[in-house]
């Protein structure tokens, strides 16, 4: 009996899809299953999910089609009204074993995600087609940024106890994974709901101490306002913690940051970058920035653009603002659609130029590269590197000899 997964959105969804693959395989019934794990961050992500559902029904008329993920959690009826769909599962229900055993459950099986208090480690052994493993440490979010629907889809912040994370990482390393990425919705709020309130830095240090066989640990998005002292210490002292931080910046202008209800201002972001560089000179930064947030003028946008150079951002993720139903920002005066697209293009161009400069600066340096697919992988600073004759999953120390387009060549 086959289980096919179509996953949209973030690393957390990727992790949960692997957990569902395992639950659905263990709970096997006679009917093949197609699971569409949706994302609600943009209107485009939802459109693509509906398209994938229609295609799945055409291609797999015999399969049970289950739709889950944030878009299904927030708007279950929207998917339930599609004739192609057999069941809609909420983000909590999708990780319950009983949802996959053929035990009859309602066609719309979605509970109020705000009532969910716990999040357990759903042990995953394997990531289909990946040499880097994602590990969920936290779920949900207690913040309410004005543009964001994620709390509506994932509920309030809940952390996986340290022991559960350690067990999960040990399992993946035993299965040959050499790099793990700690992921969640707002990982810098890790531990606020656990006894003793261990912060993210404490988790990182205990994990590296308890799993000495793990060669590389990477972190997903960090809120610059919530980096704790132990995480700074880990950055300075733990060579296995990769010198690559992805910051959830969102904008460069203080006025926009306030209207987004972010917890940091531009000067805080600058201070974070300076402190990180003083503790770990080889660190590189990525960041999420939204283009065209409501009320953003050309001058306010220029503050986001200039942030790329001021912080030396090299791995830039640009999001054209997408009004999401139920968010305060959707009710604010909107920037014209054309300007949103145009600003996103300018930000991407600035990001691409910074990335090229970063790659040029890597030539002549040595790097350790995790080989992910045939002959390609990423360095500790997350530069894409081509290495001939290397095995998938191998970590190899190389010398960067040249740049070829958006990749580096190594010997
Ligand atoms: S911190 Fe803000 S942007 Fe991030 S998930 Fe929470 S509400 Fe959304």
Length of the chain: 411
Which atom of ligand 1 is least distant from the CA of 148?
8
If you measure from the C-alpha of residue 28 to the centroid of ligand 1, how many angstroms do you get, rounded to a whole number? 36
How far is residue 306's CA from residue 26's CA, in Å, rounded to a whole number? 51
Which atom of ligand 1 is least distant from the CA of 142?
6
Probe target for ligand 1 pocket from 151, 184, 186, 190, with the most ligand atoms within 8 Å of CB: 186
If you measure from the C-alpha of residue 144 to the centroid of ligand 1, how many angstroms do you get, rounded to a whole number? 6
pLDDT (0 to 100) of residue 131: 83
CB 141 less than 6 A from any atom of ligand 1: yes
Percent of the chain scored above 90 by pLDDT?
87
Nearest CA to 272 out of 288, 285, 291 is that of: 285
Reported as half-sphere exposure (CB side, CA atoms, 13 A), residue 293 has a value of 30
Tell me the pLDDT of the chain averaged across its residues: 95
CB 151 less than 6 A from any atom of ligand 1: yes
Element (H, E) at 69: strand 64-69
Which atom of ligand 1 is least distant from the CA of 223?
1
Which atom of ligand 1 is least distant from the CA of 149?
8
If you measure from the C-alpha of residue 145 to the centroid of ligand 1, how many angstroms do you get, rounded to a whole number? 6
Q: Check pLDDT > 80 for residue 130.
A: no
If you measure from the C-alpha of residue 241 to the centroid of ligand 1, how many angstroms do you get, rounded to a whole number? 24
Q: If you average pLDDT over residues 115-123, what whole number do you get?
A: 76
Longest dimension (CA), the chain: 61
Q: Whose CA is nearest to atom 8 of ligand 1?
A: 148
Q: Whose CA is nearest to atom 1 of ligand 1?
A: 143
Residues 289-314 have pLDDT tens digits of 999 999 999 999 999 999 999 999 99
Band of pLDDT at residue 388, cut at 50, 70 and 90? confident
Is 390 exposed, middle or buried, given 0-12, 13-18 or 19+ CB atoms closer than 10 A? buried
Q: Whose CA is nearest to atom 2 of ligand 1?
A: 145
Nearest CA to 221 out of 127, 300, 138 is that of: 138
Measured CA to CA in angstroms, residue 360 lies from 20, 211, 403, 411 at distances of 41, 35, 6, 16
**pTM above threshold 0.85:** yes
- Within 8 A by CB and 6+ apart from 336, the residues are none
């Amino acid at each position: 009996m086959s289980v096919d997964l179509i996953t949209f959105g973030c690393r957390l969804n990727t992790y949960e899809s692997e957990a569902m693959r395992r639950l659905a395989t263990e709970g096997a019934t006679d009917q093949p299953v197609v699971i569409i794990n949706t994302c609600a961050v943009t209107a485009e992500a939802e459109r693509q999910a509906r398209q994938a559902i229609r295609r799945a029904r055409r291609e797999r008329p015999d399969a049970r089609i289950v739709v889950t993920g944030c878009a299904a959690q927030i708007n279950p009826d929207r998917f339930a009204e599609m004739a192609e769909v057999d069941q809609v599962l909420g983000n909590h229900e999708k990780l319950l074993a009983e949802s996959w055993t053929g035990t009859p459950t309602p066609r719309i099986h979605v509970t109020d995600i705000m009532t969910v208090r716990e999040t357990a480690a759903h042990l995953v052994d394997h990531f289909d087609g990946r040499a880097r493993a994602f590990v969920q440490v936290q779920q949900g979010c207690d913040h309410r940024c004005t543009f964001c629907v994620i709390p509506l889809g994932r509920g309030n912040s809940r952390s996986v106890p340290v022991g559960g994370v350690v067990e999960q990482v040990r399992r993946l390393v035993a299965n040959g994974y050499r790099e793990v990425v700690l992921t969640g919705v707002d990982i810098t709020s890790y531990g606020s709901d656990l006894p003793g309130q261990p912060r993210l830095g404490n988790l990182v240090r205990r994990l590296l101490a308890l799993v000495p066989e793990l060669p590389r640990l990477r972190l997903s998005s960090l809120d610059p306002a919530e980096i704790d002292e132990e995480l700074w210490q880990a950055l300075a002292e733990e060579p296995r913690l990769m010198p690559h931080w992805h910051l959830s910046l969102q904008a460069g202008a203080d006025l926009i940051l306030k209207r987004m209800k972010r917890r940091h201002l531009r000067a805080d972001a600058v201070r974070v970058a300076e402190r990180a560089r003083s503790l770990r000179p080889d660190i590189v930064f990525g960041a999420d920035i939204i283009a065209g947030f409501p009320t953003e003028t050309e001058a306010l946008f220029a503050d986001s653009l200039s942030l790329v150079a001021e912080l030396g951002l090299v791995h830039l993720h640009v999001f054209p603002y997408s009004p999401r139903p139920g968010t305060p920002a959707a009710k604010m005066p909107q920037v014209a659609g054309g300007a949103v697209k145009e600003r996103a293009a300018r930000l991407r161009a600035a990001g691409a130029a910074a990335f090229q400069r970063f790659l040029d600066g890597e030539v002549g340096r040595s790097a350790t590269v995790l080989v992910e697919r045939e002959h390609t992988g990423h360095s500790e600073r997350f530069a894409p590197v081509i290495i001939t004759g290397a095995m998938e999953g191998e970590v190899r120390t190389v010398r960067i000899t040249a740049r070829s387009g958006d990749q580096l060549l190594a010997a």
